[in-house]
Amino acid sequence: MSDAAPAISQEERDELRRHGILLTSLEELYNWGRSHSVWPLNFGLACCAIEMIAASMARYDIARFGSEVFRPSPRQADLLIVSGTVTKKMAPQVVRLWNQMPEPKYCIAMGACAISGGPFKQGYNVLKGIDRFIPVDIYIPGCPPRPEALLHGLVQLQAKISGQAITGPDAPRHLRSDIECDCPVPEFGAHDLEPPQNPAVWTPPPSLVRPDKA
Amino acid sequence: METVEQLRDRLLARFPGASVTVISNPSPSAQHSLLLDHAHAREIALYLRDEPALKFDQCSNVTGIDWPEKEITETTKVTVPDPAGGPPKVVAQTTKRREPGYLEVVYHLYSLALRQGPIILRLRTGNRADAVAVPSLTPVWRSCEFQEREVFDLFGVTFEGHPDLRRILMWDGFKDHPMRRDYAEPDDYEWEPTPHGDVLAKAKKHYPEKPAAEPAKEAKP
């Protein structure tokens, strides 16, 4: 619970667990609880949504990981799976859904379109990645990703949740008061969305701008 | 089925004041089309739909074409008599003329009743700026409604007589027409991890300036 090193290491704790002695911390218990019942929003955008549906059905069975409860209301959802192409006309609605979800909430960008615009990125009507407007936790590449890839992304998200410290500067958004959780909803402009991106969430990564190609 | 030329003659006989031109298609598909004038387009469309020998009852496709203004260079050979009395010379003269741009709407018609088609109709606007109206064929074929809205949205052709002419793909406050050839897209190429081709040219505008070249070191002796 404190910033100091734990009195007992994870290996020692696992060893004790094998002998039937359960030692835990509030942080571990809290993260274990919330990482294994991540309820996704029942929200599909394009062909990736078909794979998301397949992952939720009998063959791939996302219920094994505690995420089978697809909620039809953002008020009850923990996870926004952006499954497909986000057009510029749809982007304000996606951001609005994100703002309507209560904290703690997580976002998975599923597939090439949600990550970067994918094969349609040169189109006049396609947003080049939903991470320009809302913070994305897990990126799942693929066109579309197979259901196994979505399950892997979900397991990665669970690992991310389990690793979060619930105090200190790395605490998740819902345990802090110093950051703004709402993302501004872009307006329809005369030529593009206004603003075209949320600078609080997204700026071009400088390491990817290659001066040798300038 | 009648050829396009037979159909044109039939239409000209039926509508004496109309202007019906055959636009030939030199490609192997040889899908020649009929260019109609605005004043008679609606009547001709109704005739094509209702005439028992034609019965083009389905409009399967409406699309637009943007023809920007272009400069045409023509080379003609002119025989010039020699003033000195010698044999006349053949001189090549090049003339340049500007062909004004226009927008074009193309309709593909089929007859489900007689199992024939397609017949292709074309309508042209006066220019690409202010005279962009053509008569709507939605009152004739209901299936044109959304497709004419799409042409209005992406090309900027206005359809007179359309029951509900609004943008269909882009939002209402959008000002541009993205399928026009001079459409300037918003410059959002600031992050391109694997640029090539056109994308590379657009991404280069966002690259940081090269650091100033170091002064050349003096050559070692």
Question: Which residues does chain A have within 8 Å of residue B170's beta carbon, measured at their own beta carbons?
Answer: 89, 125
What is the band of B217 on the pLDDT scale with cuts at 50, 70, 90? low
Is the pLDDT at B84 greater than 90, yes or no? no
Distance CA A151, CA A61 (A): 9
Is the pLDDT at A143 greater than 80, yes or no? yes
Is the pLDDT at B211 greater than 90, yes or no? no
pTM above 0.90, yes or no: no
**Probe site for chain A from B171, B194, B198, B200 (most A CB atoms < 10 A):** B171
List of residues 6+ apart from A78 with CB closer than 8 A: A34, A37, A38, A39, A40, A101, A104, A105, A106
Number of domains in chain B: 1
CA distance B20 to chain A (A): 36
Question: Which residues does chain B have within 8 Å of residue A91's beta carbon, measured at their own beta carbons?
Answer: none
Is the pLDDT at A129 greater than 80, yes or no? yes
Is the pLDDT at A214 greater than 50, yes or no? no
Name which of A196, A209, A210 is nearest B188 (Cβ-Cβ). A196
Across the range A183-201, mean pLDDT stands at 89
What is the band of B141 on the pLDDT scale with cuts at 50, 70, 90? very high
Is the pLDDT at B21 greater than 80, yes or no? yes
Do the chains contact at B211 and A214, CB–CB below 8 Å? Answer: no
| Range of the structural domain that residue B162 is part of | 4-204
Question: Which residues does chain A have within 8 Å of residue B185's beta carbon, measured at their own beta carbons?
Answer: 124
Nearest CA to A197 out of A85, A79, A91, A44 is that of A91
Do the chains contact at B174 and A211, CB–CB below 8 Å? Answer: no
Is the pLDDT at B219 greater than 60, yes or no? no
Do the chains contact at A191 and B190, CB–CB below 8 Å? Answer: no
Note whether residue B73 is domain-resident: yes
Q: Please state, rounded to an integer, the average pLDDT across all residues of chain A.
A: 86
Note whether residue B219 is domain-resident: no
Note whether residue B131 is domain-resident: yes
Note whether residue B218 is domain-resident: no
Name which of A125, A188, A209 is nearest B207 (Cβ-Cβ). A209
- Chain B nearest-CA residue for A212: B210
CB count within 10 Å of CB A95 equals 22
What is the band of A149 on the pLDDT scale with cuts at 50, 70, 90? very high
The values of phi and psi at residue B129, to 5°, are -110, -70
Distances (CA, A) of B82 to A191, B89, B94: 61, 7, 20
| B103-130 per-position pLDDT tens digit | 999 999 999 999 987 899 999 998 888 8
Read off the CATH number of the domain in which B115 is found: 3.30.460.80
Note whether residue B221 is domain-resident: no
Is the pLDDT at B76 greater than 50, yes or no? yes
Tell me which of A74 and B192 has the higher pLDDT: A74
Instruction: Count chain A–chain B contacts defined by CB atoms under 8 A.
Output: 57
The pLDDT value given to residue A209: 54
Tell me which of A129 and A22 has the higher pLDDT: A129
Q: Which of A91-105, A189-203, B141-155 has the lowest mean pLDDT?
A: A189-203
The CATH classification number of A9-167 equals 3.40.50.12280
- Chain A nearest-CA residue for B170: A89
The pLDDT value given to residue A208: 57
Q: Does B194 touch chain A (CB under 8 A)?
A: no
Do the chains contact at A188 and B193, CB–CB below 8 Å? Answer: no
- Chain B nearest-CA residue for A129: B191
Residue A87 DSSP label: B
Do the chains contact at A191 and B178, CB–CB below 8 Å? Answer: no
Q: Which of A110-119, B74-83, B169-178 has the lowest mean pLDDT?
A: B74-83
Tell me which of A114 and A28 has the higher pLDDT: A114
The pLDDT value given to residue B129: 85
What is the band of B143 on the pLDDT scale with cuts at 50, 70, 90? very high
Do the chains contact at A213 and B195, CB–CB below 8 Å? Answer: yes
In total, chain B counts a number of residues equal to 221
The pLDDT value given to residue A5: 57
The pLDDT value given to residue B35: 93
Note whether residue B129 is domain-resident: yes
Placement of tokens 């220019």 in the chain: B127
Q: Does B201 touch chain A (CB under 8 A)?
A: no
Q: Are A7 and A45 in contact (CB under 8 A)?
A: no
Name which of B186, B191, B207 is nearest A191 (Cβ-Cβ). B186
| A71-98 per-position pLDDT tens digit | 999 999 999 999 999 999 999 999 999 9
Note whether residue B216 is domain-resident: no
Distance CA A194, CA A41 (A): 26
List of residues 6+ apart from A79 with CB closer than 8 A: A38, A39, A40, A41, A67, A105, A106, A107, A108, A157
List of residues 6+ apart from A49 with CB closer than 8 A: A43, A83, A84
CA distance A166 to chain B (A): 33
- Chain B nearest-CA residue for A206: B191
Across the range A32-44, mean pLDDT stands at 90
Q: Does B74 touch chain A (CB under 8 A)?
A: no
Is the pLDDT at A210 greater than 80, yes or no? no
H helix or E strand, kind and range, residue A79: strand A79-83
